[in-house]
Structure 1
Amino acid sequence: MRGGDSDGDGDEEEMKQEERHLSIRSTRGGDKGHSSKGKLIVDQNLGARARGLQSSGFQDKGKAKMVVDQEEVRPVYNPRPPEAPAPAPVLQPRREAQRNRAIELAPKYAFFKDDEAAHSDSEENEESVPDAGAHDWLGLFSTATKIIEEQEAIRQAREQAHSSKGSQSAVVPISWTLSKDKRADGGSFAKKPLFLKSMCIRILADNANEIESLEALPDMVKSMLIPVICHNRKMTAHLLSELVAGSPVELQLSDCSWANDKEFEDAFTCCDTSKLNKVQLDLCGRCLPDYVLLASLARAPYSLPSLTKLSLKGAYSLSDDGLAAIVSSAPLVSSVNLCECSLLTSEGISHLADNRGAALRKLYIDNCQNVNAMLILPSLKKAKCLEVLSMAGILSMSDKFVSELIPVCGSTIKELCFAACS
């Protein structure tokens, strides 16, 4: 078959026809199954000319000749090329050489390790391994929000479980009443109601600065009101002058540290001390030196004829002379509290015991450091009616003092206080 010199469309049609005839002949030859070899002669320039037919634009076209023997041509169909044989392993000799080299070098670097060391190394390795979860940590706020959400979910689940359980079982009411009668120890839970008198005393003490006069109050009410006012630290010079006005029976001031000597002297100038039965002027060291005492309470001998109880605790300005003046002014005094009177000595206490030994029943001389126990012992033996003796904090106290005092006054003594006597 030959291709003529015509235009491009004609050449394309001729090539298509040649290909069609070739495929048909090949198919027929395969159908017949002949074993004879066929011959295929194709011009070498035919394929190139057919591919570049449109792009080159040459007018001179080559000619192709194909001579095909129908009986000798046999189609060969081989869609997949034959597989190449697998390459021989090349790395195996290298690995074997490395293994042999490692076996040769192993004795140089190997060493013995006991079980404990191995265990400790494993623990260190475990501790050194970082926590994988730490990388997933989102921050404080996100963590707190997550915790809150989890707690809320747990609470809701608990409430749902409780509600479902409560709906299934019958609710048993719990009856509880306050025990108003008595506690387990026998006391009462309820507060005792205040009496009208106590309520009035409390109201007066709270408004002590507004009180203008105490003249209309009886002595019993005054004795209840003054301790409460002193406890609230609302005592004033005006209230003191109201208390000592006229002829008072009792004067109990547990705290006189607020007053000065001038206010104290002016208050007792017009006081009638003939009916005073109890006098308590504690913490009066600032306002009751000897000269004020001589001008107020101990103005003259027997100026306190009714006095039986005297308390001057903390009178650090009181000396032996002032105590002697009080002793001469109060012939019936039986209870004397002179604790923490730092200026008093053994001479003053001996003078008290010598002059009031027959009537003296209670004597408190705690922390009087200038008092010697053995020096006042002869005078204390004269107090045949002594019931209470308190000498706490006096370092001169000894066994000899006790062994000599008890045979004389032991039959009447009810209370002895020797605290802090080494």
Structure 2
Amino acid sequence: MDQEQEQEHQQPSSSSRKRILEQDDDTDAYYLGLLPPEAYDTSKRIKTYDFLAAFDEPKRETIVISDSDDEEVQDETESDDDDRSNAARALALFPRNQQEEHHNASENKNNDVVIESNAADKIDDDDVEDEVDDDSSTPFSEAIKAIQERAERNQERGIVEEPPVWIPKRNEKDSVRRRSCVPSLQELSLNILAQHSDAVVSLDCVVDEFRQRLSNLLCDSRKMNCYFLKLLLTGVPTQIRLKDCSWLTEEEFTNYFQTLDTSELEVIQLDKCGKIVTEHTLPATLAKSPNSLSKLTILSLTGACRLTNEGLRLLVSSATELRSINLSQCSLLTCDSLGILADSFGSVLKELHIDECILIDVARILPALKRFKQLQVLSLAGVPSVSDEFIKSYFIACGHNIKELVLKDCLNLTDASVRIIAKHCPGLRVLDIMNLGKLTDLSVGYLANGCQRLRTLKLYGNPFSDEAISVFLELAGKTLEELSLNSITKVGLLTATSLAKNGQNLHTLDLSWCRNLSDNELGLIVDSCLSLRSLKLFGCSQLTDMFFKGHSNSGARIIGLKLSPLFQRFEEPNLNEGSLR
């Protein structure tokens, strides 16, 4: 009897291991124990969560999902060998003796933290069955727990870990030589042509790539005019790309485009086109007759603030082979516009951008959106009606096709949405979840466990921790080619160490306003990521010449330095890489 009382005394009750926090959003996932109290504003939260169990997926689980009239049963099986190998790979950043201690500790069931998670793991009790927690752990939760245990041990022993030391490999003379490198002859020629565009007589026999680069240079320098536009429209062009049409008037648009031969056009990009594209100007310019744009596959009309549903209908009747359409900031388009597109391109459209279309309610367009059977790129940035319920309804049904997803500034989304995306989008390659203030480190764990083939990840402005990002990079960072950690203020030594170890494929990195990174951490990153070509460091005033003159990666262009030209630092995309964008 005394032994039973002693065991009960040693093992805390479930109620003693729960903690209630006030919360104003019942779908906002939250966890305890990873960060100090000041890392998050814990006011107005009311939920109990188990940070480790939130990521735990049972080795065999059955989820019954009721979506409309369809019922989907998913059975996932993961072998013990895969779990162990993934966990070992995730813990590679920890010393060997600490890995052994952590492995022994993780086998003790009595040490597991027990918490409850309701809203983050499911959106609707009627639609998704609650998962049953077991003793299995994901690599992400294992690694996070190892970081916590190591910090506690070091604190008890009074040990201060020394960060990896970066040794500068270049001197000031090498730095001067690097900055004065002569640009390529092609770059010099294009810059001279852009400066003297009024003297250009013809663009005949100029390939589309150079036409595009010249057009971009002129738009960036605000030198694009009607004279050069006439040169672009002369003949039988296959592409018209203007990323800034704000200088063009409605009369000029009508006069120059009414003589355009549209029979061979494959790409039309008229971005920031403002008031010039309307249902009245389209019949005389682009949509002259049904099927007049028979070869058009890519159409971008961002900022067409006077384009209505009727004008879109005219374009659709003329362009019957569209595969990509960008209607971002077309503020007059309504939910009916998605029905117009679905009627004509439901079986062939691959890219859809409706960013900041404020009159579009995603709940009402959901049936039309599900009719796009081949959709691979979906951008809903800044659409205020995007919610967890929409994410669940759409991605459970159609997430298997999605390769690129943009949800920037969809402020109502929580960790529950990221969990659905990570679980139902196995082919996801590009994810933009910038500036979603309700996300926590749970989202990073979902991505680490479910999206291990990401190539581009943009996390700008989210309150993620240094520990969570570093573990994500250990698990899924080796495939990343572009990463944005802009304005994630907690990014520090752990992230830098993981980047240096796993960023061999990174070519674009944004660490702007990450002021916890010193010369030592940036030096480790730049000298280890040998594929790095673009590094953005806006707002990193803590860096000194020790880094700028000491790193050895001569191929890395640093953007954001004081008094450095901005536009010359950006590389234009290779238009020959693929037919879509």
Question: What is the TM-score when the length of structure 2 is the normalising length?
Answer: 0.40
More displaced, 190-199 or 390-399? Answer: 190-199
Deviation per CA, 1:57-113: give whole Å up to 9, x if none. Answer: xxxxxxxxxxxxxxxxxxxxxxxxxxxxxxxxxxxxxxxxxxxxxxxxxxxxxxxxx
Q: Tell me which amino acid in the other structure corresponds to 1:416.
A: L
- Looking at structure 1, the residues matched to 240 and 287 of structure 2 have their Cα atoms a distance apart, in angstroms, of 15
Deviation per CA, 1:108-160: give whole Å up to 9, x if none. Answer: xxxxxxxxxxxxxxxxxxxxxxxxxxxxxxxxxxxxxxxxxxxxxxxxxxxxx
Greater RCO, 1 or 2 (C-alpha within 8 Å, sep 6+): 2
Partner residue in 1 for 2:173? 178
Partner residue in 1 for 2:396? 407
Shift of 1:388: 1.5
Shift of 1:326: 1.1
2:322 aligned residue (333, 338, 341): 333
Partner residue in 2 for 1:265? 254
- Looking at structure 1, the residues matched to 288 and 244 of structure 2 have their Cα atoms a distance apart, in angstroms, of 23
Partner residue in 1 for 2:337? 348
8 Å CA contact retained: 1:255, 1:283? yes
8 Å CA contact retained: 1:257, 1:287? no
- Looking at structure 1, the residues matched to 205 and 351 of structure 2 have their Cα atoms a distance apart, in angstroms, of 34
Partner residue in 1 for 2:478? none
Partner residue in 1 for 2:349? 360
Structure having the larger proportion of residues in helix: 1
- Looking at structure 2, the residues matched to 290 and 210 of structure 1 have their Cα atoms a distance apart, in angstroms, of 35
- Looking at structure 2, the residues matched to 303 and 352 of structure 1 have their Cα atoms a distance apart, in angstroms, of 17
Shift of 1:230: 1.1
Shift of 1:365: 0.6
Distance 1:192 1:359, change over 3 A: farther
8 Å CA contact retained: 2:291, 2:317? yes
8 Å CA contact retained: 2:370, 2:398? yes
Shift of 1:304: 0.9
- Looking at structure 1, the residues matched to 172 and 224 of structure 2 have their Cα atoms a distance apart, in angstroms, of 46
Aligned pair 1:231/2:220, yes or no? Answer: yes
8 Å CA contact retained: 1:209, 1:234? no
- Looking at structure 2, the residues matched to 237 and 202 of structure 1 have their Cα atoms a distance apart, in angstroms, of 19
Q: Tell me which amino acid in the other structure corresponds to 1:347.
A: D
Q: Secondary structure at the match of 1:189?
A: helix
1:63-142 aligned within 5 A: none
Q: Secondary structure at the match of 2:352?
A: strand
- Looking at structure 2, the residues matched to 177 and 393 of structure 1 have their Cα atoms a distance apart, in angstroms, of 45
- State the aligned residue count: 241
1:241 aligned residue (221, 224, 230): 230
Q: Tell me which amino acid in the other structure corresponds to 1:318.
A: L
- Looking at structure 1, the residues matched to 323 and 181 of structure 2 have their Cα atoms a distance apart, in angstroms, of 37
* Structure 2 unaligned spans of 5+: 1-170, 413-581
Partner residue in 2 for 1:75? none
Partner residue in 2 for 1:124? none
8 Å CA contact retained: 1:245, 1:270? no
1:393 aligned residue (377, 382, 388): 382
- Looking at structure 2, the residues matched to 380 and 354 of structure 1 have their Cα atoms a distance apart, in angstroms, of 11
Question: What is the TM-score when the length of structure 1 is the normalising length?
Answer: 0.54
8 Å CA contact retained: 2:279, 2:314? no
Runs of 4+ off more than 4 Å = none
8 Å CA contact retained: 2:324, 2:350? yes
- Looking at structure 1, the residues matched to 319 and 219 of structure 2 have their Cα atoms a distance apart, in angstroms, of 26
Deviation per CA, 1:182-207: give whole Å up to 9, x if none. Answer: xxxxxx93455422222111101011
* Structure 1 unaligned spans of 5+: 1-175, 182-187
Highest CA radius of gyration, 1 or 2? Answer: 1
8 Å CA contact retained: 1:316, 1:343? yes
Deviation per CA, 1:24-78: give whole Å up to 9, x if none. Answer: xxxxxxxxxxxxxxxxxxxxxxxxxxxxxxxxxxxxxxxxxxxxxxxxxxxxxxx
User: Equivalent pairs: percent with the same residue?
Assistant: 39
Shift of 1:284: 0.9
- Looking at structure 1, the residues matched to 408 and 179 of structure 2 have their Cα atoms a distance apart, in angstroms, of 39
- Looking at structure 1, the residues matched to 283 and 266 of structure 2 have their Cα atoms a distance apart, in angstroms, of 19
8 Å CA contact retained: 1:259, 1:286? no
Q: Tell me which amino acid in the other structure corresponds to 2:391.
A: V
Shift of 1:229: 1.0
- Looking at structure 2, the residues matched to 367 and 412 of structure 1 have their Cα atoms a distance apart, in angstroms, of 23
8 Å CA contact retained: 1:307, 1:332? yes
